[in-house]
Amino acid sequence: MKTRDLIKPLQESDKGWLAINEQNEVVESELSFAEICKKVEKSRKKLIIVPAAESYSGVLA
Amino acid sequence: MSTFSYPYVEPQRGVFLPWIMVRLGNKKEGTRLSKPVVALVDSGAEVSFCSKEIAEYLGIQLRNSTAQDFTTANNGTFTAYKVNDLKLYVCKRAYACEFYVTDSLPSQLPIILGQKGFFDHHKVSFNFKKKEMTLEIM
């Protein structure tokens, strides 16, 4: 199965939250979760909300 | 029995994570997220966790919640609050899911789906070679 490649959109910011569309493009970014939800709540696009971070490597859950 | 396959997500070159997109809702308030949020499927987590920021957005009250301390892999500790008002929307269905809410999660991991709350509802298969995760509803 092909992985979902979010490398490029997640390079756009290193803090806050991003709304990403099916083409893996960032359509909104905000610092708080409440703000990003407010921005996208009326959107009819198929979006996902992903936290922005400096690195996604080496994170031990 | 329903089975769902999800690709791994590559958030950074060479980093492949078993992330799935889920929605959360507040059973009491009847609110739910309008868009899915990324969640890590983590067989090593004893319970499921949700960031305080997301829980607050959904109007989850922590006042009467039971606090519990957890130990991390590097021997650190943090406190999380058990809530039973969250509903998890995943694999085209929704169910009441016990979560522990905390402001101590790494920002990259706002939702962690662990043994209690997630693995006890699904048969989970990881295929790292194929970069694929399969969830079967139990």
Smallest CA–CA distance, residue B64 to chain A, in Å, is 23
Smallest CA–CA distance, residue B14 to chain A, in Å, is 9
Give the global pTM: 0.96
d(CA B119, CA B138): 9
- Helices and strands counted in chain B (H then E): 1, 15
Give residue-wise pLDDT tens across range A1-16: 899 999 999 999 999 9
pLDDT at A37 over 80: yes
Smallest CA–CA distance, residue B69 to chain A, in Å, is 15
- Look at A3 and B33 and tell me if their CB atoms are within 8 Å: no
Q: Fill in the amino acid letter for A47.
A: L
Residues of A with CB under 8 A from a CB of B: 1-7, 10, 15, 19, 32-34, 37, 40-41, 43, 47-51, 53, 55-57, 59-61
Do B97 and B86 form a contact (C-beta atoms < 8 A)?
Answer: yes
pLDDT of residue A1: 82
- Look at A1 and B130 and tell me if their CB atoms are within 8 Å: yes
Domain boundaries, chain B: 3-29+48-137
Q: What is the DSSP string of B89-130?
A: EETTEEEE--EEEES-S-TT-SEEE-IIIIITTEEEEEETTT
pLDDT string in tens for chain B (138-residue length): 799 999 999 999 999 999 999 999 999 988 899 899 999 999 999 999 999 999 999 999 999 999 999 998 888 899 999 999 999 999 999 999 999 999 999 999 999 999 999 999 999 999 999 999 999 998
Can you say whether residue B13 is alpha, beta or left, with left for phi > 0 and alpha for psi between -120 and 50 degrees?
beta
Letter string b/e over residues A50-60, b meaning 16 or more CB atoms within 10 A of that residue's CB? bbbbeebeeee
pLDDT of residue A56: 95
pLDDT at A61 over 70: no
pLDDT of residue B122: 97
pLDDT at A45 over 70: yes
Closest by Cβ to A61, choosing from B21, B45, B56 = B45
pLDDT of residue B29: 87
Q: Tell me which CATH homologous superfamily contains domain B3-29+48-137.
A: Acid Proteases (2.40.70.10)
